[in-house]
Amino acid sequence: MNRDKLRRILAFIIAMIMLTGILASTISVVFGATTFDEEVEDLLLLIKESNQTAEEKRELAKSILKEIENIDKEISEINDKIRVYNEDLTETRILLKAAQEELDQAVADRARYQKLLEERLAVMYMYGDVGYLEILFGSESLTDLITRINMVRSIAKYDDEIKDTLVEIEEKIEKKRDEIAAKEAKIEDLISSLEAENKKLEKKKASKNVLYQEARSDAAMYDALTQTLQEDLQALYKEAGGDYTSTSMGNDIYNLLWPTPGYRYITDEYGMRWHPIHGGNRMHYGLDIGAPTNAKIVAPGNGYVSYAQYHWSFGNCIKLEIGTYNGDSYQLLFAHANKLLVKEGDFVNRGDVIAYVGSTGDSNGPHLHLELRKNGNRIDPGTLFDY
Ligand SMILES: [Zn+2]
């Protein structure tokens, strides 16, 4: 077993484990594939699956990212709410402080008044020369005494009333303060529950981030696997030395891609025509497709680049082997390119951009001159391409 073969088998095993997770089936696939076509078929299948999985992982990463963005939006909405509530809280605390100060003042007022009353009564009893007694002792007659008693009563009542009023004021302020304090507690509760919600969301975001990174690194892993498998496929083709069928290359030659996506206008068909540069009736061996400079030229099928050079007449030119079909070999030629993106010996996949449209070589304007060769003979590209 040579090194290349061993490498391929290892790639198979890794690919199968990654794609299916089942080692048993891996071994049967690896050792089951014996012929060139079987090996190519297995590789093409693995490449397809690996590509598909990479795409799925990328889609997954994209959807997780969307979720993360939504969580971020939620978090910032909650933060906005918290900000508003905090402003509310600051205001409420200012009000609470003012109410408390008012209450302290009322309590102090009442206490001072009470003390004043107590002092007055004490002094009255001790010295009898102030307050109610003085008024009473100053009576000049019984009538006067009664009048004065009534007066003292109303003064005492008045004192009590003032005391009651002060108590009422104090109670009212206290009630107001308690209401504000309750509001403060409510806002604090709201803020802390919002903060708890945010914490939960941050946690959720962190775990989504992990999943996002995983999906991305999975996608990168599958991309790397695809790359390795494609290199293996190319090595396999190289080993085969050009002797491969279009089927083994993964081509359905009757289902090739149009080489210039978006440009299908035929400026010159295959057949006899008046030559635009050299004059005279000449055979035109290809199909001219009108397309602007630097329009993409894609590989119509999987293929081996057997020629990629500047040619005096074809300009920048690519020959692509797309394999044999029913014993006939097929080759595509792309001429007058502005720029070539592949080199001889490259294997390209169906749909890969291989060159850009140009007007190099014998050409009088940007276009793609496409030729189809069957066993080396130029035939009408319309045999394989619908136009
Ligand atoms: Zn042409």
Name the H helices within 128-251: 131-137, 142-240
Q: Are residues 236 and 270 in the same domain?
A: no
Q: Are residues 107 and 227 in the same domain?
A: yes
Tell me the per-residue pLDDT of 48-63, one tens digit each, with 9 for 90 and over: 888 889 999 999 999 9
CATH number (domain holding residue 279): 2.70.70.10
Tell me the per-residue pLDDT of 220-260, one tens digit each, with 9 for 90 and over: 999 888 888 877 877 777 777 666 788 878 888 899 999 99
Q: Which amino acid is at 32?
A: G
Tell me the per-residue pLDDT of 114-155, one tens digit each, with 9 for 90 and over: 888 777 766 666 555 456 666 677 778 888 888 877 777 777
Backbone angles phi and psi of 25, in degrees to 5: -65, -35
The parent domain of residue 79 ranges over 1-241
State in Å: Cα 383 to ligand 1 middle.
16
The C-alpha atoms of residue 130 and residue 120 are separated, in whole angstroms, by: 8
State in Å: Cα 152 to ligand 1 middle.
130
Tell me the per-residue pLDDT of 86-115, one tens digit each, with 9 for 90 and over: 999 999 999 999 999 999 998 888 888 888
Q: Which residues surround ligand 1, an ion (CB under 5 A)?
A: 286, 288, 369
* Assigned domain for 252 exists: no
Q: Of 310, 284, 322, 316, which is closest to residue 297 (Cα–Cα)? A: 316
Say if strands 367-374 and 328-337 run parallel, antiparallel, or are unpaired.
antiparallel
State in Å: Cα 18 to ligand 1 middle.
47
Q: Which amino acid is at 89?
A: L
Neighbour tally for 299: CB within 10 Å: 26
Q: Are residues 321 and 212 in the same domain?
A: no
State in Å: Cα 320 to ligand 1 middle.
17
State in Å: Cα 346 to ligand 1 middle.
25
State in Å: Cα 362 to ligand 1 middle.
9
* Assigned domain for 249 exists: no
Tell me the per-residue pLDDT of 348-377, one tens digit each, with 9 for 90 and over: 999 999 999 999 999 999 999 999 999 889
Cα first-last separation, the chain: 48
State in Å: Cα 340 to ligand 1 middle.
18
State in Å: Cα 95 to ligand 1 middle.
89
Asked which of 241, 275, 294 is the last residue of a domain, the reply is 241
Write b or e for each residue in 36-59: b if 16 or more Cβ atoms lie within 10 A of its Cβ, otherwise e: beebbebbbebbebbbebbeebbe
**Is the pLDDT reported for residue 6 higher than 70?**
no
State in Å: Cα 324 to ligand 1 middle.
25
Q: Are residues 119 and 214 in the same domain?
A: yes
By mean pLDDT, which of 100-104, 174-178, 229-233, 305-309 is the weakest?
Answer: 229-233
The C-alpha atoms of residue 4 and residue 9 are separated, in whole angstroms, by: 9
The C-alpha atoms of residue 348 and residue 386 are separated, in whole angstroms, by: 22
